[in-house]
Chains A and B, each alone.
Chain A
Amino acid sequence: MKPGLFQYVRADDVEKAVSLLQEFGDEAQLLAGGQSLVPAMALRMALPDVLIDISSIAEMRSITLTDDVLRIGAGCRYVDVLRSEDVARAAPMLVQAIPFIAHEAIRNRGTIGGSLAHADPASELPACMLALDAAIVLQSASGARTIAAEDFFLGTYSTALDEGEMIIAVEIPAIAVNQHHRFLEISRRSGDYAISGGAFVLEMDAGIITAARLAFFAVGDCAVLAGSEALLGKPLNAETIDQVAQRVGEEITFYGDLYNGIGAKRQITKTLTRRLLAQFPGMEL
């Protein structure tokens, strides 16, 4: 379990990183927290010729909240996000979700950008970004662009990142007064990748749901939105919840994993949907 030979370069700013990306093309890989890339290299499933270490790029490590937009630098580690007051205020979803990601040692190193770029279908953050309607800020030697999370995740380990591009930040609209965030996942052992997980955002007006974004992960080839329409214009009660769970079971194209076939995934996802919706304030009444 030793990686193949590689060359190591450290980029101290984004400009350097994108110019190195341009120079080495697909022979290079960015190294952020290393929590996905390094194990893959040890198994020789990843064999980059050049590693561009972006972990010390200061401009990618800040978290700001301005004009109701929360901007998280791609180089922020899970632990940075978890401890940020701005995040707690503007995107409570992330504070709920991050403790479910792996274990502390990994959360001390793994980064937001690394998780989104890696696009593991079982990862928590891509689903959070879908639910939060986040925008992902990309940079290459030829310029920057912003892409909606919905358009970014294309499939298992597959994203809309072009060659030479990197993620430098995510931008999340801050939570509105009538909005609520809830996150839950079901797994056999704490810290495991989930059997099924959900990141839900609901907007309510006088007990009626006016907007919904229900995002799921660990269910298919990438994080997906499902069942949201079934909630619109309805009160959050047992009947609505049943209908939504049913819709979710029908809409998602489930993929099995090593231990759970499609049937188990569907059953558990429907259960998750029920339990998560039951956590929203409307239900507490």
Chain B
Amino acid sequence: MSTTSGKAQRHSQFVGQDKPRRNAIRHAHGRGRFVDDIAFGNLAHLAFLRSPYAHAEILEIDTEAARALPGVVDVFTGPDLVDICTPWVGKLDHFSGLRTPEQYPLAMERARWNGEPVVAVVAESRAIAEDALDLIMVEWAELPAIIGIDNSRSTNGPILHPQYDSNVAFVMNLTAGDAKAAFRDAAYIVEDTLELGRQTGLTLEPRSIVADFDPSLRKLTAYHSTQTPYQMQDVFVRHFNLSEENVRVISPDVGGSFGMKLHVYGEEMAAVAASIRLGRPVKFIADRMESFLSDIHLREHKVHARMALNSGGEILAMEVDDATGIGPFSVYPRTSAMEGNQALRLMGAPYKMPHYDGTLTVLFQNKAPTCQYRAVGHPIGVTVTEHLVDLAAKAVGLNPFEIRRRNIVTQDMYPHTTATGYILERLSHEECLAKLEALMDYPKLIAEQKEMRERGIYRGIGIAAFIEITNPGPAFYGIGGARISSQDGCVIKLEPSGKIRVSVSVTEQGQGTETIMAQVAATYLGVDLDHVDVVTGDTERTPYGGATWASRGAGIGGATVMKAALAMKENILEIAGVILQGEADDFDLVDGQIVDRSNQQVRMSLAEIGRIAYFRPDTLPQDYHPQLSVSRHFVPQGTPFDFTNGVQASYLEVDVETGIVKLLNHWVVEDCGIILNQQLVDEQIRGGVVHGLGGVLFEECLYSENGQMMSATMADYLAPLASEMPDIQIDHVCTPTEMTPLGAKGVGEAGTAAAGAVVLNAVNDALRPLGGTLRTTPLTPERILKALGKI
């Protein structure tokens, strides 16, 4: 790792060290405590009758037999909840023109996707609730389903929401410079149409909630597997007309989220409604099929794009027409326009390209709603751009490294604003690209590829540059009117024993947030890592904040903890000064001991400070009140985001007789600024890469022509398995950000951003001598055989 700033040196001790995830040992011992593990008295269970149709009028619902089943506690439909729960609308003010109808916990008069919850049954057990579902009779009138993107875009086809004049939810244009002129004057123009398949989240722990409403106090406690307990507290307050102080959201262990657990879902709202109706705790745990049918989906895009270059192979402009299908609603509260918005802005972003003309069309369809998910928009922007860059390389006659080297934003250009409007503080494309070329030994691979081709073995090499959007600033969601905080808070408490308790508003879903926060606290306080305990995920026990999404946990949460730790340390040294009858400045806190700053001699332990401050304040001067807890909040400022950058490469083999792709190797060179914990950073990158590889090779939410989801089990939806994954080699460049005192940027989405793009490029590279091009992902054997003209 190379370091381009002195900032890293300032960190003592634990920042920058590899520390395993603290909860890993507990989970390995089977001591995880997920929502489903928590015992409740008088618990009732919730199950849903879901729409078997993609689009249908609900004519009549007969619940009589279900109600009569012993063990059934309650049966309700959408209209039954209108007095309990107000509807929501997935709009943001800064996406002007975005339209989407009001949404209710359960379908009202129409069902709009296969799997939409329609009737809820509450029973003494989930099994009884499911028995009751079989007894509910619904009379449906099936309506024509709008499924494909072209189908939705068609001007003479059916319209999903009768109150609108088309299926268009949102249109956005983004222009810079004069793209038309650039294309007119171009020496080379390349273009293509790419289609990216729908994926879904697939967390190990499904969506889970126990809603426990106490009618005597009108107090709701929700044990909820969410990334954003504060956002959900606010949602419950406003839509169930409760008082903020009476709503507590607890997120215990959360088994993966990836953005999927940020959104408001009808099922969780129905669970809260059921608990309010019944005055007893109600549990909903999505089963795997429900997850496939009702978790958000993502990334269904059809993009036509063109790129103009001059005779020297310099990219002049891109024209992009991106159409995306989002299902029947824009998802609340973050909207389903964000993914397309980011995709459109990430086009060409690593490059100097001056001119741009992009259009985004967001379309309604009768499929599960789509929304933000790990690497929101990145794989689309990167795949389209890098596919065109490879086409351009071929047209101009440059090798893939050379064309990228000629076009990437260079060190002398920062701060730099992309044609699409992103402000880049300082990135390291040149260094990353050079490192990658050496790391993968590109000339050797080229030679090997050539030699293999002569033997009828088709190997391909793909590379792709990317930027990643991390640490969103203060104007991210709030500006659009969403009550989603972009600041975070931290309280640090000195315990009488000298131990440290940190409570912080960023949350943990398995990525190691709590470990990172402990490392930052231990470092800036000067105590042992094992003496720091971190509390997250409880709106009643932690300060209010944005929590964990958009690769903001380590960067923003870490800066928050750093500020609180420095303040706590100041207080501790002040107490030490009083006890030791010196000045606070005379002392330092090192390894949990108060030492003389001048000679590092140990004067007293932190435990002794705790003992005196808590139990013998009588020995301290009159009017002296030791401050034993502190709180600090941190608002990210400066540019709207801290961008990171990197470059990836893939080496693979295509079996041209079967269309099966074998991944041989994968490389990532990435720059996330200061690395707080390399093991966790590398885990994030590897996990992210696997997400990207899953998307490009395996995962697809397949729908039939009439809108039935066909891949709604783990047998049919192909998740990437360890057995098919290549080694993933990682190297780092370190360009710290000046936007936060810690210098750390995010890293959670970098792997996903470009992993798919490099595989697509590598497959097309492999097939080049045979003359086939893949344009649709995932790259199934059938699609590859078709591209090869074998079938």
Give per-residue flags for B752-791: 1 if the beta carbon is below 8 A from chain A beta carbons, else 0.
Answer: 0000000000000000000000000000111001000011
With contacts A1-B288, A191-B723 taken as known, whether A258 is within 8 angstroms of B785 at the C-beta atoms is no
Which positions 106-131 of chain B face chain A at CB distance < 8 Å? 125-127, 130-131
In the complex, are the beta carbons of A263 and B702 less than 8 A apart?
A: no
Closest to A266 in B: B791
B154 at the interface (CB under 8 A from A): no
Closest to B722 in A: A190
Number of interface residues of B (CB under 8 A): 32
In the complex, are the beta carbons of A1 and B658 less than 8 A apart?
A: no
B721 at the interface (CB under 8 A from A): yes
Report A136 CB to chain B, min CB distance, Å.
26
Which positions 174-206 of chain A face chain B at CB distance < 8 Å? 186, 188-193, 195
In the complex, are the beta carbons of A271 and B782 less than 8 A apart?
A: no
In the complex, are the beta carbons of A190 and B724 less than 8 A apart?
A: yes
Give per-residue flags for B359-384: 1 if the beta carbon is below 8 A from chain A beta carbons, else 0.
Answer: 00000000000000000000000000
| Chain B residues within an 8 Å CB radius of A4 | 130-131, 134
In the complex, are the beta carbons of B289 and A260 less than 8 A apart?
A: no
A233 at the interface (CB under 8 A from B): no
Which positions 646-701 of chain B face chain A at CB distance < 8 Å? 657-660, 697-698
Report A32 CB to chain B, min CB distance, Å.
19
A285 at the interface (CB under 8 A from B): no
| Chain B residues within an 8 Å CB radius of A90 | none
Which of B287, B657, B723 lies at the interface centre, i.e. has the most chain A CB atoms within 10 A of its CB? B657
B716 at the interface (CB under 8 A from A): yes
In the complex, are the beta carbons of A259 and B724 less than 8 A apart?
A: no
| Chain B residues within an 8 Å CB radius of A43 | 289, 713
| Chain B residues within an 8 Å CB radius of A272 | 658
A105 at the interface (CB under 8 A from B): no
Chain B binding surface, main DSSP class:
loop
In the complex, are the beta carbons of B723 and A189 less than 8 A apart?
A: yes
Report B195 CB to chain A, min CB distance, Å.
16
In the complex, are the beta carbons of B723 and A261 less than 8 A apart?
A: no
Complex CA gap A5/B125 in Å reads: 12
Give per-residue flags for A3-39: 1 if the beta carbon is below 8 A from chain B beta carbons, else 0.
Answer: 1110000000000000000000000000000000000
In the complex, are the beta carbons of A263 and B791 less than 8 A apart?
A: yes
In the complex, are the beta carbons of A267 and B127 less than 8 A apart?
A: no
With contacts A258-B702, A264-B782 taken as known, whether A186 is within 8 angstroms of B658 at the C-beta atoms is yes
B718 at the interface (CB under 8 A from A): yes
A268 at the interface (CB under 8 A from B): yes
In the complex, are the beta carbons of B130 and A2 less than 8 A apart?
A: yes
B137 at the interface (CB under 8 A from A): no
B413 at the interface (CB under 8 A from A): no
| Chain A residues within an 8 Å CB radius of B698 | 188-189
| Chain A residues within an 8 Å CB radius of B711 | 258
Give per-residue flags for A262-278: 1 if the beta carbon is below 8 A from chain B beta carbons, else 0.
Answer: 01101110011000000
In the complex, are the beta carbons of B782 and A260 less than 8 A apart?
A: yes
Report A164 CB to chain B, min CB distance, Å.
28
Report B411 CB to chain A, min CB distance, Å.
42
Give per-residue flags for A114-129: 1 if the beta carbon is below 8 A from chain B beta carbons, else 0.
Answer: 0000000000000000
| Chain B residues within an 8 Å CB radius of A3 | 127
Complex CA gap A186/B782 in Å reads: 13
In the complex, are the beta carbons of A264 and B791 less than 8 A apart?
A: yes
| Chain B residues within an 8 Å CB radius of A195 | 658, 781
With contacts A190-B724, A191-B721, A264-B659 taken as known, whether A259 is within 8 angstroms of B127 at the C-beta atoms is no
Report B721 CB to chain A, min CB distance, Å.
5
Chain B interfacial positions (CB closer than 8 Å to A) = 125-127, 130-131, 134, 287-289, 657-660, 697-698, 702, 710-711, 713, 715-716, 718, 720-721, 723-724, 780-782, 785, 790-791
User: Would you mind naming 14 contact pairs between A and B with Cβ atoms under 8 Å apart?
Assistant: A4-B134, A5-B131, A43-B713, A44-B134, A188-B697, A191-B723, A193-B715, A259-B781, A260-B780, A261-B791, A264-B659, A264-B791, A267-B785, A272-B658
In addition to A1-B287, A188-B724, A189-B721, 7 A-B residue pairs with Cβ atoms within 8 Å of each other are A1-B288, A4-B131, A186-B660, A189-B720, A193-B715, A261-B782, A264-B785
